Amino acid sequence: AFDETGKIWFNGEFVNWKDANIHVLSHVVHYGSSVFEGIRCYNTKKGSAILRLREHVERLFNSGKIYRMEIPYTVDEICDAIIETVKVNNLKDCYIRPIAFRGYRELGVYPLNCPMDTVIAAWEWGKYLGDDAIENGVDIGVSTWRRMAPNTLPNMAKAGANYMNSQLAKMESVSNGFDEAIMLDYHGTVSEGSGENIFLVKDGELYTPHASLSLLSGITRDSIAKLAQDMGIKVNEEAIPREMLYLADEIFMTGTAAEVTPVRSVDGIKIGNGKRGEITEKLQTKFFNIVGGVEEDEHGWLTFIE
Ligand code: PMP
């Protein structure tokens, strides 16, 4: 839940939570013109640390570049501002949401006359798909909504407007009794969830859809792929047909919010034995040990706050 006594970084200054407002005629409100990030800070054994901070901030700037948004700060300045936001709010374990958007001036679709606003907020946010999900897994359903084709909305940008597509898929899946949606891409092969990437385990190897065409190439996806390689588990990036989901030995989803969440069924079909799989558990444990400071951060993923 939000702690409304907190401070929000708003165009370079900290303001009170309730004063972090924009005008209703801001461009972003009407046309979804924003780019944003989701980042986690973990309360590790050695103090609070932000996971893969620089990669997230670089992706924010890349998202901005795709939409010709000039974020009027450097990557270093935004990294520092994120650290300050966590500190000012005395947070240890939190979710951080930096967002840059087209602000208030005029309302033509043409965006380049509107100013850019940049905001960073942070709050405590537990397990995205529920406390139980990390251990027992979630039930997902293939959505009738497809992920955007590459020449419609660019999937490499983490842009607000993309989440209208995500919302359609998520609402449909929840109304059908599932916890999360999995979308197919414009070819009809597996793409991603409403806010997560997907991995399958088959005969001891990992499979995940190729990054470049129809999905957000997640930073957690990258972390898991690296950890798998460290553990000698082969990672195959390839086109995945829907039915390969049903035949997988194990499935899990990855994301900053969802972390590493096992999938126990797809479209009501049990995956493997319907419980968290062995390889899923191994990767999950490794991931949580690293972000928790229990195991050595060999890849240098943690930025300590103090
Ligand atoms: N796909 C979508 C659509 C997402 O919203 C997210 C969450 N940012 C991801 C994948 C996973 O990305 P990451 O691991 O970088 O959080």
How does pLDDT run along the chain (306 residues), one tens digit per residue?
899 999 999 999 999 999 999 999 999 999 999 999 999 999 998 999 999 999 999 999 999 999 999 999 999 999 999 999 999 999 999 999 999 999 999 999 999 999 999 999 999 998 888 889 999 999 999 999 999 999 999 999 999 999 999 999 999 999 999 999 999 999 999 999 999 999 999 999 999 999 878 999 999 999 999 999 999 999 999 999 999 999 999 999 999 999 999 999 999 999 999 999 999 999 999 999 999 999 999 999 999 998
Protein residue whose Cα sits closest to atom 13 of ligand 1: 218
Euclidean distance between CA atoms 51 and 47, whole angstroms: 13
Euclidean distance between CA atoms 165 and 128, whole angstroms: 19
State in Å: Cα 197 to ligand 1 middle.
Answer: 6
Q: Which CATH architecture group holds 133-291?
A: Alpha-Beta Barrel (3.20)
| Residue pointed to by tokens 């035949």 | 247
> What are the structure tokens assigned to 136, written together?
């027992």
Sign of the dihedral defined by the CA atoms of residues 4, 39, 200, 278, in that order: negative
Euclidean distance between CA atoms 32 and 55, whole angstroms: 23
**Is the minimum distance from the CB of 39 to ligand 1 under 6 angstroms?**
no
Neighbouring residues of 43: CB distance < 8 A, sequence distance ≥ 6? 92, 93
Contact yes or no for 266/252 (Cβ under 8 A): no
Which runs of E-coded beta strand occur in the chain? Answer: 7-10, 13-16, 34-36, 39-44, 47-51, 94-102, 116-123, 138-142, 180-184, 190-193, 197-202, 205-208, 235-237, 250-255, 259-266, 269-270, 302-304
Q: Which CATH architecture group holds 7-123?
A: 2-Layer Sandwich (3.30)
State in Å: Cα 257 to ligand 1 middle.
Answer: 8
**Is the minimum distance from the CB of 256 to ligand 1 under 6 angstroms?**
yes
| Domain range annotation of the chain | 7-123, 133-291
> What are the structure tokens assigned to 165, written together?
């597509």
Contact yes or no for 224/199 (Cβ under 8 A): yes
| pTM for the model | 0.97
Euclidean distance between CA atoms 264 and 172, whole angstroms: 19
Using CB atoms within 10 Å of the CB of residue 19, give its burial: 0 to 12 exposed, 13 to 18 middle, 19+ buried. Answer: exposed
Q: Which residues are catalytic?
A: 158
Protein residue whose Cα sits closest to atom 5 of ligand 1: 195
pLDDT at residue 261, rounded to an integer: 97
Euclidean distance between CA atoms 25 and 71, whole angstroms: 20
**Is the minimum distance from the CB of 191 to ligand 1 under 6 angstroms?**
no
Instruction: Describe the crossing of helices 53-66 and 219-230 by its angle, rounded to 10 degrees.
Output: 140
State in Å: Cα 253 to ligand 1 middle.
Answer: 10
State in Å: Cα 249 to ligand 1 middle.
Answer: 23
H helices of the chain, where?
27-31, 53-66, 75-88, 133-136, 162-175, 219-230, 242-247, 278-291
**Is the minimum distance from the CB of 218 to ligand 1 under 6 angstroms?**
yes
**Is the minimum distance from the CB of 192 to ligand 1 under 6 angstroms?**
yes
